[in-house]
Amino acid sequence: MKRPFAISLDVGTSLANLTGSWRTSRPVYVDRLPPCNNACPAGENIQSWLYHAESGDYETAWRTLSIDNPMPAVMGRVCYHPCENVCSRSQLDEAVGINSVERFLGDVAIRNGWRFAPPQADTGKRVLVVGAGPSGLSAAYHLRRKGHAVEIREAGPFTGGMMRFGIPKYRLPRDVLEAEINRIIDLGVVMKLNTKIDHVVDSMQAGRFDAAFLAVGAHIGKRAYIPAGSAAKVLDAVALLRSMEGEDKPLLGRRVVVYGGGNTAIDAARTARRLGATEAIIIYRRTRDRMPAHDFEVEEALQEGIMMKWLSTIKRMDEGVLTVEKMQLDEKGFPQPTGEFEMLETDSLVLALGQDVDMSLLDGVPGLKIKDGVVQVDSNMMTGYAGIFAGGDMVPSERTVTVAVGHGKKAARHIDAWLRGAIYTPSEKHELASIEKLNTWYYADAPKTVRPMLEVARRQSTFEEVQGGLDETNALYEARRCLSCGNCFECDNCYGVCPDNAVIKLGPGQRFRFNYDYCKGCGVCAQECPCGAIAMVSEEI
């Protein structure tokens, strides 16, 4: 392509033609941290795998994604996608459907039978992982990829932890869950089910383990003191959801009340509806805007006929009847009793008031501290006992699958370093890319693809998956909506607009470099870069 104002230089050309001395500032190619990457609790390089997905190279996209997260098909269904909440595209039209593309890649990998590459060599080190939930599975995957021998011991009869026992099938089909777990096990991870750890130090010594990662899920439902008659039917939400994995489904009756305001309460009420309840009512002591459940889950529950009773608390339960007290918010927004009561008929009451972790395996472990029901760990995820690390529900954090997967990865890196007698130091993060650094005129309006939803009638009576996935056409479209915030994607804008022939193409995937002998520092390249990958810096004097 011929370009105007280009200056060619051969051996006989005078150096007087060079323009580099005219500059007061020079352009520099930079890499900035995309907001989506920065917000991902699992630490995924989202922008990188979206780049491969938008070119149609799905296997490379999946393998890039699984460097950080071995369960994209699961995460594409259950993650609350904080990455999309900060997506720069949302300030133009709508956020990129990152979560939906992740699910698409995970499903394609399952259909095509893609496997993880085995470790190149074994280190001879042995690591015990306690718990086969998201954090334990993530740690096992990353440790095995490092060449360590890994053994998972799970107290229950199935793998998956709270992904299986806390997330209903209509959100996470079990064949998807098992496919991604089996792929991890196929790396050579030893899985022992129905194997409860009574004392972790004794188990480490007996098994000759060099380190341990504790990833026990919060399976114990919290109780509240509610006076109840002997015939009243009260159960906790965790027990209800766990029982759904067995052959004998619970008998809840036609009218079911769920007490609580989190995602577990929503899942319990939607499950009760599918089990045949004609009325499922959630009682919560505050208003909807204070509800800890995610808004889209609340909306889906309302679509399915779940009723919500805000500003209410349960005072007593007798056979078939609840005594409910109305609440009102004080000037600080806290609910206060009003002394006004009403009676509410119900066949069963489900308590969804939070969960605790069984810490009995840590009894008597020297140096280990437990505060507010969770294990205290340092910045390396290690407890007060050398060689014992912890993550997921066992440590102070938000309790989500994505956070747990991130903990497993982080702990594995520190465990690997500790086993080698080293200290893992994460790379320094780049400057955060922001919408102000982008030239958004480059991008056409392209509204987000809406994922298909199962019709309400079938949602109320079956456990079929509620939210569908994207097909290839929609997944490609959605991936191509990415703005590549802060990182060059070789659009050739800088190459095309430079008036001094100072931008040199280095070939596909190699980006560009500047020839500063010709660059006058006019800054046109930085002004025209769509993704904010060029910075102007002052010349040293």
Q: Is the model's pLDDT at 231 over the cut of 80?
A: no
Q: What's the mean pLDDT in 437-464?
A: 89
Spacing of C-alpha 454 from chain mean position: 24
Q: In which residue ranges of the chain is CATH 3.50.50.60 found?
A: 126-219+357-419, 221-354
Task: Share the mean pLDDT of the chain.
Answer: 92
Cβ neighbours for 381, distance < 8 A, ≥ 6 positions apart: 389, 390, 391, 395, 407, 410, 411, 414, 415
DSSP code of 357? -
pLDDT of the residue at 11: 39
Which of 125-139, 487-501, 510-524 holds the top average pLDDT?
125-139
SS (H, E, C) 27-68: EEECCCECHHHHHCCCCCCHHHHHHHHHCCCHHHHHHHHCCC
Residue with tokens 């199935």: 158
Q: Is the model's pLDDT at 541 over the cut of 70?
A: no
pLDDT of the residue at 148: 98
- Please tell me the distance from the alpha carbon of residue 250 to that of residue 265, in angstroms, as a whole number: 16
Pick the CATH number of 221-354 from 3.20.20.70, 1.10.1060.10, 3.50.50.60, 2.30.42.10: 3.50.50.60
Q: In which residue ranges of the chain is CATH 1.10.1060.10 found?
A: 41-114+444-479
pLDDT of the residue at 20: 61
Q: Is the model's pLDDT at 332 over the cut of 80?
A: yes
Q: In which residue ranges of the chain is CATH 3.30.70.20 found?
A: 15-31+488-538
- Please tell me the distance from the alpha carbon of residue 306 to that of residue 320, in angstroms, as a whole number: 19
Q: Which CATH number is 126-219+357-419 given? A: 3.50.50.60
- 101-122 residue pLDDT tens: 999 999 999 999 999 999 999 9
Q: Is the model's pLDDT at 338 over the cut of 90?
A: yes
Fold designation for 41-114+444-479? Fumarate Reductase Iron-sulfur Protein; Chain B, domain 2 (1.10.1060)
pLDDT of the residue at 17: 58
pLDDT of the residue at 8: 39
Which of these, 202, 104, 181, 88, lies nearest to 472 by C-alpha position? 104
pLDDT of the residue at 152: 98
Which of these, 128, 119, 188, lies nearest to 147 by C-alpha position? 119
- 461-510 residue pLDDT tens: 899 999 999 999 999 999 999 999 999 999 999 999 999 999 999 998 89
Domain 15-31+488-538 has CATH 3.30.70.20: yes
- Please tell me the distance from the alpha carbon of residue 39 to that of residue 43, in angstroms, as a whole number: 8
Which of these, 168, 352, 349, lies nearest to 252 by C-alpha position? 349
Q: How confident is the model at residue 228 (pLDDT cuts 50, 70, 90)?
A: confident
Lowest mean pLDDT: which of 139-143, 232-236, 451-455?
A: 232-236
Percentage of residues of the chain with pLDDT beyond 70 = 96
Q: Is the model's pLDDT at 167 over the cut of 70?
A: yes
DSSP code of 146? T
- 345-386 residue pLDDT tens: 999 999 999 898 999 999 989 999 999 899 999 999 999 999
Cβ neighbours for 463, distance < 8 A, ≥ 6 positions apart: 168, 169, 170, 274
pLDDT of the residue at 52: 96
DSSP code of 382? B
Q: How confident is the model at residue 250 (pLDDT cuts 50, 70, 90)?
A: confident
pLDDT of the residue at 142: 98
Q: How confident is the model at residue 14 (pLDDT cuts 50, 70, 90)?
A: very low
Helix (H) or strand (E) holding 216: none
Q: How confident is the model at residue 34 (pLDDT cuts 50, 70, 90)?
A: very high
Cβ neighbours for 10, distance < 8 A, ≥ 6 positions apart: none
208 CB burial (10 A radius; 0-12, 13-18, 19+): exposed
Helix axes 46-54, 472-479, angle to 10 degrees: 130
pLDDT of the residue at 227: 85
Strands 149-153 and 190-192: parallel
pLDDT of the residue at 341: 95
Q: How confident is the model at residue 439 (pLDDT cuts 50, 70, 90)?
A: confident
